Amino acid sequence: MKRFCKLSRYSIAIALFGISAHAQATDFSIYTDTLQNSFEDYSYGGGSNFTATTPLHSGTNSIAFTGNNFNAVSFDHETQALNTAQYPLLHFWVHGGSSGGQHVRLDLQLNNSLVANAVLDSYVSGGAIGANAWREVTVNFTQPPLSYSGGFDRIDLQSDVSGAQPVLYLDDVALQTAVVDHIFSNNFESTVIAPASNGMLIEHDVTVAAMVSDRFTWRDSGNKPRVAVLAHNDGQSGPNAGTYQNRGGALREFRYQLPDNSTRIADVTTYGNGGYGGFGYVVSHSKNQFCNGDDSPLGYSIPGAFQRVFEGRHHAIFRFTQNYTHNCSPAGPAQTILVPVTIDWVFSTGHDHPLWAITHDMSAVAANYLEDDSRAPYGELNIDGDGSTDIDGVAWGDRYKFTSTTAPVTLNSAWTWNTPNTVPYVKLWLVTNNATMGVVQSQNIVQQDAGGYFNVTAMWNKTSVTVGANCQGATYKMPCIDYWPYQSINFNLGPSTSNNNSRLAWGTEYGFLGQSSYHIHGSTYWGGPLPDATQPGWPKKSYSTYVVLGTHSSAPVEAQVAQVETVQGISMTAAIGTVVSSGPAGVNRSDTVAYAPAGYNAVRGALALAAVGNQLDANIAVATGTLKKPLLIVSNYSGAYPTTVRLNGTVLVIDQDYFPSMRSDAQELWITLNSDFSGASNHLEILP
C-alpha cells in the first residue's frame, strides 16, 4: 500500500483506493491499449513496440521500450498545442521488466524545440524503475526539477545512456488536470489543504530484496528524491550469509541522486556476519567475563515489532522495538538478560539524512549488573552502489579529529589526529567512486559522551609521523585495531592489505550500558588527560545520530557536523508562545531532560517551540555559522494547518517555502523551513 502523507481521511481514500466521488483529476488519455486523442507515435531510434501483450497494468496492450543509444518513445500532439495551465500533470505506470533500474529522461517539446527536461527517477514512486513490478509515475510540469509553465505538443521518454538497456514497459499514459476535491469546494473541512505533489511517499508492506519492508521517498535539501527501505522485524526471515538468521529491523536500501542526476543505490552486502543485514541495528559488547554464548549478538538476528508512529505530509517516524540479548554476567554462572530497545527513524522533506535514535531500557536490571558498551547504529551497506572497491579512507571525531591520509587505507596508512573536535562522528569514503557514509551525533561530546575503548588519548593531537608504531606487539602505523574509538573496518585491514568492507559502528566506553556511573571517554580513569568525570549508564540510556550517505566530494558528514555545532549557538525568544526548555530524555521515554541550548530537541534534531492558540511569534538568533533548513516542532498545536506562515515579514508558500506535517495525536505541527538561518534576526510567525 502506498500513500502521500498526510491527507485527510477523505483524501486518503481518494489517493489510495481510487474513489472518485469526491476528487476529480480529469484525464486526457495519451495511451490506453492504443494511442488516444490524436496523439501520434513519433518514437525514434527503434526499440518501441506499442502493442506488447505482457506485462500489462490494465487492458490488453502496453508499450515495450528497449533503450539503446538515446532512442526514445515519443508522443506527439501535432493537431493542437497543449498547456500546463490546463494539464499540469503527466501520469503513467512503468515496469522495469526482469531487471529494473533503467535510466530514462523526460523531454518536453514545443514546435520541435526542447522546453524542459528532467531525469525520470525524480518522479517514479520508490525513486527508480523497479524490477518485476509496476510503479506509478506522476510528473508535475510546473514544479522542480522541470519548473515549466507554458505550451507543449510533444513528450519524449528517452533512454539516458549511450549503450543498451533492458526492456521496460509503459501503460495508462495520460495528462491530468489538477486534483479538485469537492469536499473542499463545499466548505466542508475547508481548512484542510489538498495533498502535496512533493509530499512524502510512504509505501507499506513492499517486498524489497526479499524482505517485507516500508519504503520512504522524500525530497532532500536539493529537491531531489531520496529513498530509504526499512525491513520489518516482526517475525520474517530474510536472506543471510550463513552466520546469523536475518530478522530485519534495519535499513537495507538507500537511494539518492548524484550530480549527473543518476541514482545511486546503496544496498546490502552479501558476505560475512553482517551480510544481508543492512545498517542501523543494535550491537553491544560486554566487559563482563562470564558469558552464555555470544557476547555481542547482531541485532538484525533478533525479532521484535515495528510501529508507524507518525506519517505526515512531509515527515515520518518509523519505530523498531526488540528485546536485545545481553549474555554476559559479572559473576558465574552466566545469565542471559533481555533489555528492551527502541529505535526510531525520522525522515523529513528538505533534509538529506535521516535521524536515527535509540533508547536502551535497563530499568528491570539491577544497577551495575551490566558493564556493556553501545555500538549502534551498526552494520554495512555498499556505499557506492557496488561494494567491490577497497575503502580509501576512514575518519572519526572524539575530542580530536582523526583522518587517514593515504589511500587505499591499510594499517600502515598515514594519519592525523590533531584537530580539536566537539561533535562525535565516524565515516568511510571512496575517492574514485565518489561515495561516503558516516554517522554524526545530534549533540556535542560534552552533552553526550561518545567514543571508547582503552587509552587512545596518547595519540590525541598527534600524527603518524610523531607517534610511529604505537600498538604493542605490532609495527603498523594506524592506532591499534582494538583501540579505535568507533568500530569500523579496523578488523578487516592488514599492515599491507586494504579491504572493500564498509562496516560502520558507533562507539562508547564499557559501562555506558548498565553502570550507575561510568567514566567518560578520555578521562583519567582510562589514562586520559580529561578530569575523571562520569555519566550515568543506568536505568535508561538514549542518544540520537544522523545516518549520512552522499558523495565524498560534497563532504556531507562534515556538513552535518557543522550543523550540530551551529545549533549549539542558537538562542530563541517568543513574543507569542514559548521556547520549550525540556522534553523527553529519549525516544519512547516519559522522563525529561533540560534542552541544551534551550529550544533544541536533540532527540529529534529539531527546534522546539510551543504555540498559544495555534499562534506563534518567535525569533531564532544564530551566533555563528548558518543553520540550514531547520526542522521545527511546534507543540500545543491542534486542528488545521496554519493559514499564514511568515519569515522576516515575508509570507511563505506551503510545500514550496515550508514543508508542514500535522502530528495530531501529539498536538504538534512539524515544519521544515526551506530557508537558512543566520545572524541575530530570523523572525518566524505562524497564524491559525
Which of 28, 98, 105 has the alpha carbon at shortest distance from 73? 105
- In terms of domains, do 489 and 549 share one? yes
- Indicate the average pLDDT of the chain: 91
C-alpha cell read off for 421: 573536535
Residue 250 lies in a domain: yes
- In terms of domains, do 591 and 445 share one? no
Residue 220 lies in a domain: yes
- pLDDT, tens only, 444-495: 999 999 999 877 888 999 999 998 667 777 789 999 998 899 999 999 999 9
End residue of a domain, out of 338, 361, 384: 361
Number of helices (H) and strands (E) in the chain: give both, helices first: 4, 53
Rounded-to-integer distance, Cα 288 and Cα 336, Å: 12
Give residue for cell 548498565: 514
Measured on CA atoms in the order 641, 643, 649, 652, is the torsion positive or negative? Answer: positive
- pLDDT, tens only, 617-641: 999 999 999 999 999 999 999 989 9
Residue 377 lies in a domain: no
**423 pLDDT higher than 90:** yes
Which of 461, 508, 512, 468 has the alpha carbon at shortest distance from 484? 508
- In terms of domains, do 106 and 129 share one? yes
**Amino acid 6: pLDDT:** 34
**Amino acid 9: pLDDT:** 31
End residue of a domain, out of 125, 143, 178: 178
Residue 454 lies in a domain: yes
Residue 388 lies in a domain: no
How many structural domains does the chain have? 4
- In terms of domains, do 550 and 574 share one? no
**Amino acid 18: pLDDT:** 34
Note down the domain range covering 108: 26-178
- pLDDT, tens only, 243-264: 899 999 999 999 999 999 899 9
- In terms of domains, do 54 and 119 share one? yes
- In terms of domains, do 547 and 605 share one? no
- In terms of domains, do 579 and 496 share one? no
Q: Running DSSP on this structure, what letter comes out for residue 431?
A: T
Rounded-to-integer distance, Cα 442 and Cα 261, Å: 29
C-alpha cell read off for 574: 517568543
- In terms of domains, do 666 and 630 share one? yes
- In terms of domains, do 467 and 554 share one? yes
Residue 503 lies in a domain: yes
The conformational region for residue 352 under phi > 0 = left, psi -120 to 50 = alpha, else beta, is alpha
**Amino acid 553: pLDDT:** 98
- In terms of domains, do 138 and 39 share one? yes
Mean pLDDT of the 346-375 span = 98
Mean pLDDT of the 675-681 span = 98
In order of 246, 325, 326, the CA distances from 336 in angstroms are 21, 7, 6
**141 pLDDT higher than 50:** yes
Which of 516, 521, 517 has the alpha carbon at shortest distance from 534? 517
- In terms of domains, do 492 and 575 share one? no
CATH code for the domain of 56? 2.60.120.430
End residue of a domain, out of 500, 528, 560: 560
Residue 366 lies in a domain: no
- In terms of domains, do 247 and 168 share one? no
In order of 214, 233, 247, 281, 377, the CA distances from 306 in angstroms are 10, 7, 12, 13, 17
Q: Which residue type does 455 have? A: N
Residue 533 lies in a domain: yes
Q: Are 302 and 325 in contact (CB under 8 A)?
A: yes
